[in-house]
Amino acid sequence: MEKKVFRSRISVLLNVFVISVGLIPMIRAGEIILPVLYVCIGLAVFFAFFCYGMRYEITEKHIVYKMWGAVSFKVPLSGIVSVERSYNPLSAPAASLKRLKISLSKQYKFPYVLASSVREKEFLEMLKTLNPDIYIRVSEKKWWHRIYRIWDWDI
């Protein structure tokens, strides 16, 4: 089996939040401070560039988290217990708030890792194919999800 690469979702909502937090210092008595504006624009461009480089590579034995080609860390497929939906805002190699919580067995350092693949259904099917023991609890049929569609503002 050859490796399969999935890029991370990029959340418009998360980008707007990061940019707006950067713009708050600019609002000083109603005037725009040009150097701060340039820094905010530069940070926004850097953040988008940074997010675009996030990848998840599934091999026969691991999920490899990569950032612009450099391996961040590996998660063994044999150690995955379950996968479920998460909107956890904790820092993670995921550029979206709509994430997958990948729970690991107790022998690993961390209890779970987060991911946000663009082709989520294909990502989950591949995990299930390589490790049929994974329990997948990902559903889009929740009532609040239809009301608050901002979680899906991804590109």
| Domain coordinates in residue numbering, the chain | 4-13+50-152
pTM of the entire structure? 0.76
Residue type, 85: R
Secondary structure element (H or E) that encloses residue 73, with its range: strand 70-76
- How do residues 105-132 score in pLDDT, each as one tens digit? 988 888 999 998 888 899 999 999 999 9
Yes or no: say if 18 and 47 are a contact pair by the CB < 8 Å rule: yes
What is residue 81's three-state secondary structure? strand
Distance, first Cα to last Cα, the chain: 29
What is the rounded CA–CA span in Å between residue 119 and residue 60?
18
pLDDT digits (tens), the chain, 155 positions: 678 899 888 777 777 777 777 666 666 545 666 777 777 778 777 777 777 788 899 999 999 998 887 778 889 999 999 999 888 777 777 778 788 999 999 888 889 999 988 888 999 999 999 999 999 988 766 555 555 555 555 54
Cβ neighbors of 74 (< 8 A, separation 6 or more) are 62, 63, 64, 65
Q: Which CATH architecture has domain 4-13+50-152?
A: Roll (2.30)
- 36, two tokens: 């701060």
